[in-house]
Structure 1
Amino acid sequence: MNKWMFLMALLSVVSGLVAGQQTDLKVDKFSGEWEFSKVEMKLYAQDDGRLLEDKVFTTTESTKNINGLVPFSIKFSRHQCIISHRNGIEGGEFRLINDKEFTFSPDVQGKENLNSTNRIPAITYRYRIEDRNWLAIDMPAAFYKDNIRGVAVRLLYTCYYQLKPVK
């Protein structure tokens, strides 16, 4: 009886270690600094899904009129992440949800003073890694009324980054 309990405990520990190593290997594919390559912006009408606008921005300077939170560079180191964008720099924790999504939880100064009603929620991003050196991130959609067009819209940004070579 004791042998079986010992074997079950050992099996549980070993399977946990293997699962942890697999997660670490998946996280390692993000490691490094990713530099801005381009941003694709698509604007859709909410009522019928019609494409209203489609633009590509290929320099950080050309993005001055888009969302200030679109990352210009992202640095991953294990489960930590530093994001640089037009509005500043944010650091925080990142976690893989699955092979297509990760979450980013921004660090907050004085977070020990935050209570459960005013915590900053984690942001979920969809991603693809192409050829190990290219990262594509779909930013969370924005929904608002476009007053110029007079319609409710859905705004999508897909950001592309190239892995910066290590010197």
Structure 2
Amino acid sequence: MTRKQKRLVIIGGGMSFIVAAVLLVMFAFGQSIAYFYMPADLEKTPVNPGTRIRLGGLVAEGSIKRGEGRTVSFTVTDGEANVPVSYTGILPDLFREGQGVVTEGMFDAATHGFVADSVLAKHDENYMPKEVADRLKDKGLWQHAGEGEEPAAATPAASATSSDKTGATR
């Protein structure tokens, strides 16, 4: 083999290794990505049952219903659409009606509802995903503290809490 052929083999092998590594990383990230949706987005773009997503918006007034054990059902709304959510676990301390919330889980084909395995309670636009805060502001559902009445999706506290099925608070 000539020097030129050896160089081409080494370069070709190196490029093949890099391409394989990039494909493996993309595959690994593709399995763990949870896309973010608001209720109105789900009406326009349905999600297949079993696909992991994040659902964000406000907890609808009068929608929290406690079931057996630690099971809670509630509705997430963005002012345009509503999505029923079921969650089994310990809810964050800041979770309540009219509060911002981001849930992560999947749609259940049998119940046609969203089954969350984690709930993140939001109370301030500093912790709310920008697109959620912007859309809630556009619809007039968001008020900053100090603008008259109590904020619709904010409280004076300055931290976000979440919980998962283990009850651990983050």
Asked whether the two chains share a fold, i.e. TM above 0.5, the reply is no
Normalising to structure 2: TM-score of the pair?
A: 0.31
The higher relative CO (CA closer than 8 Å, separation ≥ 6) is in 1
Instruction: Judging by fraction of residues, say which structure has more strand.
Output: 1
Normalising to structure 1: TM-score of the pair?
A: 0.31
